[in-house]
Structure 1
C-alpha cells in the first residue's frame, strides 16, 4: 500500500532503493505517528472535517494502536511503504471510510516532521535524565575524594596539584553546559510543524494552535515553508547537542585510559570490568573506556553527516531528507548506552591515594612555594626566579601542603553545591512536566 498509489506498479529495484531503511526505522516513530494522528483527528472534528461519530470511532482504535506500539507489537507489513501508510491501513481495515479521512489536511511531509520532533523530544527527555544520573555519581565521587590529590597536567607535563575532587567535579560541571546546549536544541524541537502539509499549507481551515496545545508544544513553526525547511536543521542541532555530551564522555574516557595505565596508576576498575590479552597473562585492559571513546567520537560525526546530506538543498521537500533518519534515530540509543555505561564505570572506579608523595611529582608544588614567598613580601617575579634557580640546581625541597586553595572552584572549595544548583535550574528550564501532562491527557 502506498498513500500516493495511482494504479501504476513501481519497478521493484526502484521501490527497494527509494524505501531504503524506512520501514525498519519507522518502527521507532510509530508511537509518535499514532499520537499525531490522534491530535490531528481531534482538530479535524473541531473544524468540521470529521463528525463526532467519526472521532468516537477513531480514538479507541488509535489508543489501542498506540499501546501496541509502546509494547513493541506494532509492525509494518510487507508491501506497506512506511508507518504513515500502515496506520491509515489499520484504521481503514477496522473502520472503513472513516479511516480514510485522517489524512485530510496532512502530507507525509508534515507527518514525518511531526514524528521526528516528537521522537526527538522524547529522546531529549531520556538523555537529560541519564545525564542527571551521571552528574549525581560524579558529584558524589568528587565530594568523597575532595582531599585526595593527584597531579594536574599541561602539555602532558606535570604542572600543579589537582585532586580527584576537582577531576570528577570538572566532568560534572561540563555536563551542565552540555544540557544548556541540549536545551537550546529542545527549544527548536518543541515547535509544532503539523499543518505545513507538503510545505505550502492547506486550503482546509485547519486549527494549528489546537494541535500545538494537544501535543504539548511550546509554539508553532508558523511559516509553512520554513517548517519544511526545518527538516535536517532540527536533526543537526539536536545531534550537535548530543555530540557535546559525547565530547564530555570521550574526554573522560581518555583520561581514564591514561590514568589506568601502569605509567600513571591513578585509577583502576574491578577485574570484572576489564579484559585480558590472548598472549600476555598480566593484561587488564580498559576496553570499556576505549570503546566509549570510539563510540562517542562516532557520535560527534553525526551533525556533520546530517549537514552533508541536507546542507545544499533549496527550499521545499526533497527525498534526500529521508537518509537523515539513518544517522539521527540511532544516535539517541547510542548516546544513552554510552551515558549508562559511563555512569556504572565511574561508580565502580577505584582511586589511588597518596599519589603526590611520589618523588616524580615534587615540582608540581613549585607554584605553591612561589606563592608562599609572595605572601611573605617578595615580588612574584623575584619569587619565581628564586624557585626556578633552586629547581635548576637540584635544591628545591617542596612543601606538599595546599591549604591556601580556598577560592571558588579550587581544591579546597569545590563549589559542588553551587554546581548542583546550576544543574537543577537547567533541568527545570526544559519544563518537561508540561509536555508530559499534555501527552498523558491526549493518550489517556
Structure 2
C-alpha cells in the first residue's frame, strides 16, 4: 500500500514540478520585488519565484525516496515478531513481490511499525511544507496592496456583504490542510513513544493518521496545479516609484566595481537615500548560476529526472504484474 501511494504522490509532484518549470521559463524576464523580514529588499523575478518551488520539490522527492527505500523492504515471515517454525523462504517472497530486500531480523520487522509510518509521514510533511509556503505567497501576492498576481473570477470567492472581494479561498484551504499534514509525524511520534519492542494495539491507530494523508496531499497538489495553470502575473511591477530602493544594492555594487571599498560605497548610497537624492538604473545584469539572469532550470529539471528514475517503480510493477498473471 505504502509503495503504491508513494508512487502516486511522485506522479502528482512531477506534474506540478513541470508546470512550475514552464512558468519559470515563461516569466523569467518579469521582475518581482524580493523581501526579507517582509520589507523591500532586492529585485527578484517570477522566474526565480516559480523555479524556487520547483527545486524545493526536488528535495521533497529525495525525502520521499528515502521513505520509499524503508517501505520497500519485506517484513513477511516475521509472524507476530518472533519468526516461525515453518521452513519459509523469505527471500522468495521478497523477489516475487518486488521488494528491494528483507527486513532480516524478525523482531525489527515488527519494530518497524510506527517507524516506517513516521518516516513516510515526514516525507509527506516536507511536500506539504513546500505547497503551504507557496500558498501563503499566493495569498500575499494576490492582496490588493501587492497586486502581483491574479486569477480568473471563477477561481476566487466573493463576500456576502462586500461586492469587491476576490478571496484566495483555494490557497487558504491548501495552506491550512498542509499545516495539518505537517502535524502527522508528531502525532505518530506520540502514539509510538515509550512503546517497548513487540506488537501493541496502539499501533492500530497509525492507519487513521497516515492513510488519509495521501489523498489529502494529492488533492492539495492537484488544486495547486489547477490554480497555477490559470495564474496571471503583472508586468512592469518595479516601474512603481515605491520599489526604487530595491535597486540600492545594485548601485552599491556598481561603485564597488569601480574600485570603491564596499563599506564606503554602502555609506555613499545610504546617505543618498537619507537625503532623498537616490537615483538608480533599473536594468539588471545577473549572470551567476541560479540568479534571475541564469535560472538553471535545465539543471533543476535534470536533478528531478535523476531522482525520479532512482525509484525504479517499473521494476516493482513488472514483478507484481508477473505474479498476478
TM-score tier by shorter-chain length is: over 0.9
- Offset at 1:269? 1.0
Q: Which runs of 4+ in 1 moved over 6 A?
A: none
Q: Deviations over 1:125-152 (max 9, x none)?
A: 0000100000000000000000000100
Q: Name the CA distance, whole Å, in 2 between partners of 1:256 and 1:283.
A: 16
Q: Deviations over 1:258-312 (max 9, x none)?
A: 0000010000111110011000011110000000000000000011111111121
Alignment of 1:145 onto 2:145: no
Q: Which structure ranks higher in relative contact order (CA pairs < 8 Å, sequence separation ≥ 6)?
A: 2
Task: Show the counterpart of 1:298.
Answer: 180
- Which SS does the other structure have where 2:40 is aligned? strand
Task: Show the counterpart of 1:58.
Answer: none
Alignment of 1:438 onto 2:306: no
Alignment of 1:387 onto 2:275: no
Task: Show the counterpart of 1:267.
Answer: 149
Task: Show the counterpart of 1:413.
Answer: 294
Q: Name the CA distance, whole Å, in 2 between partners of 1:328 and 1:237.
A: 11
- Offset at 1:380? 1.1
Q: Name the CA distance, whole Å, in 1 between partners of 2:76 and 2:305.
A: 32
What is the aligned-residue RMSD (CA, Å)? Answer: 0.5
Task: Show the counterpart of 2:73.
Answer: 191
Q: How does 1:235-246 map to 2 (within 5 A)?
A: 235-246=117-128
Task: Show the counterpart of 1:254.
Answer: 136
2:229 to 343, 347, 366: 347
Q: Deviations over 1:69-119 (max 9, x none)?
A: xxxxxxxxxxxxxxxxxxxxxxxxxxxxxxxxxxxxxxxxxxxxxxxxxx1
Task: Show the counterpart of 2:102.
Answer: 220
TM-score by length of 1: 0.73
Q: Name the CA distance, whole Å, in 1 between partners of 2:260 and 2:192.
A: 62
- Which SS does the other structure have where 1:430 is aligned? coil
Q: Name the CA distance, whole Å, in 2 between partners of 1:278 and 1:443.
A: 56
Q: How does 1:7-406 map to 2 (within 5 A)?
A: 119-403=1-285, 405-406=286-287
Q: Name the CA distance, whole Å, in 1 between partners of 2:324 and 2:284.
A: 58
Report how many aligned residue pairs link the two structures: 325
Q: Name the CA distance, whole Å, in 2 between partners of 1:396 and 1:335.
A: 48
TM-score by length of 2: 0.99
- Which SS does the other structure have where 1:419 is aligned? helix
- Which SS does the other structure have where 2:219 is aligned? helix
- Which SS does the other structure have where 1:162 is aligned? strand
Q: Name the CA distance, whole Å, in 2 between partners of 1:286 and 1:210.
A: 53
- Which SS does the other structure have where 1:161 is aligned? strand
Alignment of 1:425 onto 2:306: yes
Q: Deviations over 1:209-253 (max 9, x none)?
A: 000011100000000000000001000000000000000000000
Q: Name the CA distance, whole Å, in 2 between partners of 1:152 and 1:272.
A: 29
Q: Name the CA distance, whole Å, in 1 between partners of 2:86 and 2:200.
A: 24
Which segments of 5 or more consecutive residues in structure 2 lack a partner in the other structure?
none
Q: Which protein is bigger by CA-based radius of gyration? A: 1
Q: Name the CA distance, whole Å, in 2 between partners of 1:398 and 1:262.
A: 26
Q: Name the CA distance, whole Å, in 1 between partners of 2:105 and 2:142.
A: 54
Q: Name the CA distance, whole Å, in 1 between partners of 2:283 and 2:262.
A: 20
Which segments of 5 or more consecutive residues in structure 1 lack a partner in the other structure?
1-118
Q: Name the CA distance, whole Å, in 1 between partners of 2:56 and 2:102.
A: 32
- Offset at 1:393? 0.5
Q: Name the CA distance, whole Å, in 2 between partners of 1:246 and 1:439.
A: 30
